[in-house]
Amino acid sequence: MNGNGEQKSLVERLQFIDRRIIFLFIAVAVVLPLLFGATLKEETTPIVQELFDFIEHLPPDSRVLLSFDYGPTTAPEIQPMADAIVRHCAERDTRLYMMAIWATGHNLTGSTIEETLKPEFPGYVYGEDYINLGYKAGNQGLIRLLFDDFKRMYSTDANGTAIDEFPMMQQIKNLKNFDLIVSFGGGFPGIKEWVLYAGDPGNIPVGGGCTAVSAPLLYPYYPNQLVGILGGAKGAAEYENALITKYPAYGKKWMGGMSLMMSQAVSHVVIMLFILFGNALYFILRAQRKLETGGGE
């Protein structure tokens, strides 16, 4: 019934369809491709390819700082990026310095080390090739301090071992000693703060991986202040595609970003169909009202 006590037409009822029906469609669109393990290959766009190429051209033993600035909320999107970049850096024999400026990022650093780096690169030695520095509070203030004096804030690694005991830390004085900084996470503090407090003042190359919703906010920094940006699951899938193209052995491996792309693609199509359907109903209803009122609005 409408406001005048008249029976609602089918079109009117469809306009206010029970939201649970929409939820059901979205759930099916997301879950089914995941259940069947459907994957989609993504063509790598220039904004992703440039970060890939930068890492690809790093000489062995280059120092790459990876900052895990995200939490479980965004991990499904960002963790595949972290895994792909760690794989790539390890393929290039770079030294990996892992840290977090988000408290929730520290455990995810551990996941990357335990589930990707250690099993796939058993030759990587802790303290010589990679190190987990852990989380430190202070947000952008921490980056500001690391820029001048790295060991003033990181006097130990995540296990509490004195930092100078590790061979790979002996040459590190400040952030300018790194060849590349990659921040994962588009929130605050994150990629933007790494650009403002480290990349720009020190002329240090910075790259980033963030959620799809954060990516548009970072475009103003590309390409002058950011080497490249990986935006959302698509960004991760694009990086994985570049990795597979260069290192075909990864083609046989399960890739987190690509495995999400079919779900994302189908759910986007479902949302678009709902938008089209909603608009069709809107125009039908508008035409009906015009007819009822004799052509006037």
Partner 1 sequence: MKRTVPLLITFIVGAVLILAEFVPHEPFGNFGEDFSLYFDIIAVFAFLLGGGNLIRVHVTKVQRKKKDWPFSIVTLVGFLGMLAAGLLKIGNPDGIQGDVAKLGSLFNDLYMFIFTPLQASMFALLAFFVGSASYRAFRAKNLDATILLVAAFVILLGRTPFGLWLTSGLEGSLSFLQIPNLANWIMGVPNLAGQRAIMIGIALGVISMSLRLILGVERTYLGQDNE
Answer yes or no whether residue 238 interacts with partner 1 by CB under 8 A: no
| Dihedral-angle region of residue 127 (phi above 0 means left; psi in -120 to 50 means alpha; beta otherwise) | left
Residues in 149-178 at the binding interface with partner 1, rule: CB under 8 A: 149, 152-153, 158-160
Which tokens belong to 18? 């029970």
Q: What is the CA radius of gyration of the chain?
A: 24
139 makes contact with partner 1 (CB under 8 A): yes
Contact string (CB under 8 A) for partner 1, positions 27-66, x = contact: x--x---------xxxx-x---------------------
Residue 109 touching partner 1 (CB under 8 A) = yes
Nearer to partner 1, 95 or 106 (CB): 106
Contact status: 284 vs partner 1 (CB under 8 A): no
Distance of CA 234 to the CA centre of its chain: 9
The least CB distance from residue 56 to partner 1, in Å, is 22
Q: How far is the CB of 191 from partner 1 (least distance, A)?
A: 14
Q: Which stretch binds partner 1 (CB under 8 A): 80-88, 179-187, 215-223, 244-252?
A: 215-223
Which is nearer to partner 1, 58 or 145 (by Cβ)? 145
Q: Which of 144, 177, 247, 284 binds partner 1 (CB under 8 A)?
A: 144
Contacts of 90 (CB under 8 A, 6+ apart): 96, 117, 120, 121, 124
CB 53 within 8 A of CB 229: no
Which residue type, as a one-letter code, is found at position 137?
A: A
> What backbone torsions phi and psi does residue 270 show, to the nearest 5 degrees?
-60, -45
Binding window for partner 1 (CB under 8 A); candidates: 50-58, 132-140, 248-256, 287-295:
132-140
CA 243 to CA 88: how far, in whole Å?
Answer: 7
Interacting positions 8-27 with partner 1 (CB under 8 A): 17, 19, 22-23, 25-27
Helices (H), the chain: 10-15, 19-35, 46-56, 75-91, 105-112, 118-120, 139-148, 150-153, 191-194, 200-202, 215-218, 232-246, 256-292
Q: Beta strands 130-135 and 180-184: pairing type? A: unpaired
Contacts with partner 1 in 68-97 (CB under 8 A)? Answer: 71-76
Are 146 and 198 in contact by the 8 Å Cβ rule? The answer is yes
Minimum Å gap between C-beta 59 and partner 1 is 30
Note the helical H segments in 182-297: 191-194, 200-202, 215-218, 232-246, 256-292
Q: How far apart are CA 83 and CA 145, in angstroms?
A: 28
Instruction: Give 14 or 179: the residue with its C-beta nearer to partner 1.
Output: 14
132 binding partner 1? (CB under 8 A): yes
**Which residue number, 91 or 187, has a Cβ lying nearer to partner 1?**
187
Q: How far is the CB of 21 from partner 1 (least distance, A)?
A: 9
Q: Please, which residue, 45 or 177, has the CB nearer to partner 1? A: 45
Tokens of 144: 């500001």
What residues line the site for partner 1 (CB under 8 A)?
17, 19, 22-23, 25-27, 30, 40-43, 45, 71-76, 106-107, 109-111, 114, 132, 134, 136-139, 141-142, 144-145, 148-149, 152-153, 158-160, 212, 215-217, 219-220, 232, 234, 261, 264-265, 267-272, 274-275, 277-279, 282
